[in-house]
Amino acid sequence: MKKVSLLLIVAMLVMVMSACTSNSNSNAPGAGQEPEAAKPDGSGDPVTLKIVYKDEGTANPVSVKFFETLEKALAEDEGLNVKFELVDLAQGSYAENLNLLLLGGTIPDIIYFQGGDQQISEQGLLEDLTPYIEKSKYIKDIMEPHNKTRMESYPYLMWIKPLAPKAPVIRADWFNAMDSSKALIENPTVDNYYAFFKELVEKKPGEGKPSYALTAAGDIAEINFIFNTAFGLDTTWLKKADGTYEYSKVSQNEKEKLTFYNKLYKEGLLDPQFITKQWDTKEDAFYKGDAAVITGTVGKILDLYDGRMQDLGGKEAELIVLPPAKGDGGQGFGATDVTKESRGLAISSQSPHKDIAFQVFDYLASPKGQMLDRLGFENEHFTVENGEIVLNDKYYSEWYARFWEPTEMKSETPLKTPLLGKPGTESLSMASEFYTEDNNFLIPDQFVANWDAMNNLYKEYSTDFITGKKDLSQFDEFVEAWYAAGGTEITKYANENIK
């Protein structure tokens, strides 16, 4: 009996050691996860990949069709038997609802973030994508320089898209009806922007509309793309005359900008409800004509705005892209953050299907994958005529790349028509013209809690300054509170580390 018991114990130890050895290799790319799904003929049980993605839920028929089409393409082209399961979130703030989902223990395999990802990555819940990219067949070749720089410092979030500042747009018929339009385009100073906004609200070219010139979604971040650089707020940390750095939001430049925003608010040129606006209500105000100007991400998003506006207002309502304001600080949409992607796609470190998830990413970077992701559905968004791809109006008004959008698209079939319409093309050109890199940095762990509190302090004070709840003579009070809340330490760190 003792011999039998000893043999049983040894056998159990061997099984445990074998399992541990297997698990120790399971996190490495290409470690052999999902053998059934990786069969060349696509046979075997399908691997289910859960994906949560803003606007890409089961209630969106285009999304459902896209992922169903992607499943078929993966099976035919890659031999991957994959089933996508779209995870729906409640209406409201995507970042907040996603956070509740993840912290509640439901962690999909593929996750789209639009903020809030750092606290998730700090808990070890997001996969480091560096080794996957290095071994990729297509991804590593389509990454833009700013993508590579961001991935080096924060390897959890991938978003292969062109530079993506937000640019202001307005209906062409309203723009052409303004006497101040020519001066704005020729010399887009802050004063000329103010004159343009004022004339829009006074003249009301849309039969009693607009109610106000400018709106935004929830805070002033979108408006800052227009005005920050003009006020000298061209980097996160401003170099002072003595060679030291100060945080831009506690500078006199910031005070001057907030004074201007307060002027817009008091005179009814800025939407009085911009603080409570969400992205959808902001866009709705634009389409209905309540707001004359909004900002949108350069490129395809502005083409979608253009298509929707023309559907509602006709050809004469096509959109015109306005330039960023210029001033003593220069002209531009602000410096580009290269510390990390501000939004993008991640793979859960808890997923048992990490390799397969990245294979999906890599396929979408291939010529065949790009055909689907960038162009949509054949005979619905494009046709092939005489061996060339012809994009139609539905493509320009509806379709956008869910995944990757490199500057150069490699297609097996040549394109006869351009990928972007006039607003998309012009805005991307502006983004490239005014591109500069920021000097910010990822906030070290020891400062994160204070940094969040300091940002909330800024949001509270800046909103009150704009709306008049606090007088701008109290700006120094805000600066003192900011330094007391941790600003002294983070400013010291910045001066020691900014090269």
For residue range 280-332, list pLDDT tens digits in order.
999 999 999 999 999 999 998 999 999 999 999 999 999 999 999 999 889 99
Spell out the CATH class of 47-162+341-398: alpha beta
Q: Using CA atoms, how far apart are residues 236 and 8, in angstroms rounded to an integer?
A: 65
Q: Using CA atoms, how far apart are residues 264 and 247, in angstroms rounded to an integer?
A: 25
Mean pLDDT to the nearest integer, 374-393: 95
Task: Report the pLDDT value the prediction gives residue 10, as an integer from 0 to 100.
Answer: 35
Report CA-CA distances (Å) from 241 to 209, 238, 244, 259, 328: 46, 10, 7, 23, 16
Torsion of CA 56, 225, 474, 488, to 10 degrees: 80
Highest mean pLDDT among 21-35, 271-285, 430-444: 271-285
Is pLDDT above 80 for 69?
yes
For residue range 71-80, list pLDDT tens digits in order.
999 999 999 9
pLDDT band at 44 (very low <50, low <70, confident <90, very high): low
Question: Buried b vs exposed e over 322-337: b needs ≥16 C-beta within 10 Å?
Answer: bbbbbbebebbbbbbb
Residue 80 backbone dihedrals phi, psi, to 5 degrees: -100, 120
For residue range 423-478, list pLDDT tens digits in order.
999 999 999 899 888 999 989 989 988 999 999 999 999 999 999 999 999 999 99
Task: Report the pLDDT value the prediction gives residue 43, as an integer from 0 to 100.
Answer: 53
Amino acid letter, residue 302: L
Task: Report the pLDDT value the prediction gives residue 129, as an integer from 0 to 100.
Answer: 98
Three-state secondary structure readout of the chain: CHHHHHHHHHHHHHHHHHHHHHHHCCCCCCCCCCCCCCCCCCCCCCEEEEEECCCCCCCCHHHHHHHHHHHHHHHHHHCCCEEEEECCCCCCCHHHHHHHHHHCCCCCCEEEECCCHHHHHCCCCECCCHHHHHHCCCHHHHCCHHHHHHHHHCCCCECCCCCCCEEEEEEHHHHHCCCCHHHHHHCCEHHHHHHHHHHHHHHCCCCCCCCEEECCCCCCHHHHHHHCHHHCCCCCEEECCCCCEEEHHHCHHHHHHHHHHHHHHHCCCECCCCCCCCHHHHHHHHHHCCEEEEEEECCHHHHHHHHHHHHHHCHHHCEEECCCCEECCEECCCCECCCCCCCEEEEECCCCCHHHHHHHHHHCCCHHHHHHHHHCCECCCEEEECCEEEECHHHHHHCCCCCCCCCCCCCCCCECCCCCCHHHHHHHHHHHHCCCECCCCCCCHHHHHHHHHHHHHHHHHHHHHHHCCCCHHHHHHHHHHHHHHHHHHHHHHHHHHCC
Closest CA to 112 of 345, 351, 340: 345
Mean pLDDT to the nearest integer, 40-44: 51
Closest CA to 451 of 463, 442, 464: 442
For residue range 142-157, list pLDDT tens digits in order.
998 889 999 999 999 9
Mean pLDDT to the nearest integer, 384-407: 92
Strands 330-331 and 245-247: unpaired
Is pLDDT above 70 for 36?
no
Question: Buried b vs exposed e over 153-178: b needs ≥16 C-beta within 10 Å?
Answer: ebbbbbbbbbbbbbbbbbbbbbbeeb
Task: Report the pLDDT value the prediction gives residue 483, as an integer from 0 to 100.
Answer: 98
Token pair for 348: 């859960």
What sign has the CA pseudo-torsion 239, 244, 248, 253? negative
Lowest-pLDDT range of 169-183, 274-288, 315-329, 394-408 = 394-408
Strands 166-171 and 110-113: unpaired
Residues of the chain with pLDDT > 70: what percent?
91
Are the folds of 47-162+341-398 and 166-335 the same? Answer: yes
Residues of the chain with pLDDT > 90: what percent?
78
Amino acid letter, residue 207: E
Task: Report the pLDDT value the prediction gives residue 297, as an integer from 0 to 100.
Answer: 93
For the chain, what is the mean pLDDT?
Answer: 90
- Domain coordinates of the chain in residue numbers? 47-162+341-398, 166-335
Helix 354-363, helix 61-78: angle, nearest 10: 100
Task: Report the pLDDT value the prediction gives residue 417, as an integer from 0 to 100.
Answer: 87
Instruction: Provide Rg for the chain, Cα atoms.
Output: 26
Q: Count of CB atoms within 10 A of residue 18's CB?
A: 10
> Is the CATH number 3.30.1490.20 carried by domain 166-335?
no
For residue range 469-499, list pLDDT tens digits in order.
999 999 999 999 999 999 999 999 999 999 8
Q: Using CA atoms, how far apart are residues 345 and 356, in angstroms rounded to an integer?
A: 15
Amino acid letter, residue 436: T
Task: Report the pLDDT value the prediction gives residue 410, as an integer from 0 to 100.
Answer: 80
pTM of the model: 0.76
- Cis omega before residue 367 (within 30°)? no
Q: Using CA atoms, how far apart are residues 411 and 72, in angstroms rounded to an integer?
A: 19
Q: Using CA atoms, how far apart are residues 75 and 99, in angstroms rounded to an integer?
A: 32
Is pLDDT above 70 for 14?
no
